[in-house]
Structure 1
């Protein structure tokens, strides 16, 4: 039986940093703060919207836990749901997912991005029909690297064997915490050298992912 495949979203299936950059700067400049660079915003991605807001506030010289947090968080998440331009697929994703679906792999997305913005981004890039479920950063009481959302995805997908596919330090820790093999996409948002992160297999081109899955052996 083919394994379940549980994917991260940002930095794995889609390059969302340009969209997050625009939304973040709209929130900041709308309140009179200076805009930030794409590289700054990219470095904030991966730990969920609350973390992103705290980083924005800190960079703006404000208290990340202060009274502005709730207003900026609400503004950010509202814009996230509609301002989807700038979310783009990494090369080869659709072809790879077509093949993985054809060989019978059930697939899910687990992301620290809030659920509704995640669905909006997924729909914008044409991925909705490939995944049996999406679990967002506000879907459960915990976020990655807590393994709860990954365990829930595997339970719903109904396979004894599963692989976790992601791009970052958070994803590596999530897979380890969940007790799943980690397949790392090397072209995403990680800051650590890839060989310094625990992983079972690495790939830099989505054309290679189906053969990795088809050739997987379980001990």
Structure 2
């Protein structure tokens, strides 16, 4: 039996990016004369793509999320995303887990709502870029998660067969369900829902567990 395709979310799953996103967001807001937001505030905005992040930043700043500031903030945010990568760190055990999965013959990919170029920059910064055969960002296709197109495209490009999706959030759970893909929930990311209430096939809190999960998963 061939090894499966293992597809990962990025923010809150492979990397703790909230500190970097927090810094970038506050830098953009400061340039416009707005007050800084807290890390928990910005972390709660992560996961649904840049347009949602921009809207939430503006709403939290008591600004018009549907006015001309939207495009200005979005453009500035994406530009900084590609260069201001300090604060992105892999979760403990991620590099070792990816190496072990590759050793099992798994084909590895990332599907993230973060735009492609910032996703590439973050992955290169933390030394994980070379681990993945394919990365699809939030601007790579006409739709983004929880639409299942990202997962379907990735699965097809990596040869089909068995697939498992690894993520941390409500959006990831919904995406897996929409794609009819098994879902492994990393419990230490950015979810707001209790683990027991978030649909998943299996949950894990330590990336050292993931290779065994993939090896022994009942497909």
**TM-score category by the smaller chain?**
over 0.9
Please name the residue that 1:183 is paired with. Answer: 184
| 1:157 match | 158
Residues 60-69 or 35-44, more deviating: 60-69
> Which residue of the partner structure matches residue 212 of structure 1?
213
Distance 1:212 1:59 in 2: 39
Shift of 1:179: 0.4
CA offset at residue 60 of structure 1? 1.1
Alpha-carbon distance, 1:216 to partner = 1.5
Residue 64 (structure 1) aligns with: 65
Report the secondary structure of 1:44's partner residue: coil
Question: Which residue is 1:137 aligned to?
Answer: 138
Report the aligned-residue RMSD: 0.6
Show the counterpart of 1:37: 38
Per the alignment, in what secondary structure is the counterpart of residue 160 of structure 1?
Answer: coil
Give the 3-state SS of the residue equivalent to 2:44 in structure 1.
Answer: helix
Aligned counterpart, 2:26 = 25
Specify the SS of the correspondent of 2:184. strand
Q: Is 1:54–2:55 an aligned residue pair? A: yes
Aligned length: 218
CA-to-aligned-CA distance 1:1-59 (integer Å, 9 cap, x gap): 11100100000000000000000000001111000000000000000001000001111
Q: Distance in 1 between matches of 2:3 and 2:199?
A: 23
Question: Which segments of structure 1 move beyond 6 Å, counting only runs of 4 or more?
Answer: none
Separation (CA, whole Å) in 2 of partners of 1:62 and 1:18:
23
Partners of 1:195 and 1:116 in 2: CA distance: 34
TM-score by length of 1: 0.99
Partner of 2:194: 193
- The residue number in structure 1 matching 2:116 is 115
* Runs of 5+ consecutive residues of structure 2 not aligned to the other structure: none
2-structure distance, mates of 1:117, 1:204? 26
Q: Quick one: distance in 2 between partners of 1:42 and 1:142?
A: 23
Distance 1:164 1:64 in 2: 32
Give the superposition deviation at 1:217. 2.4
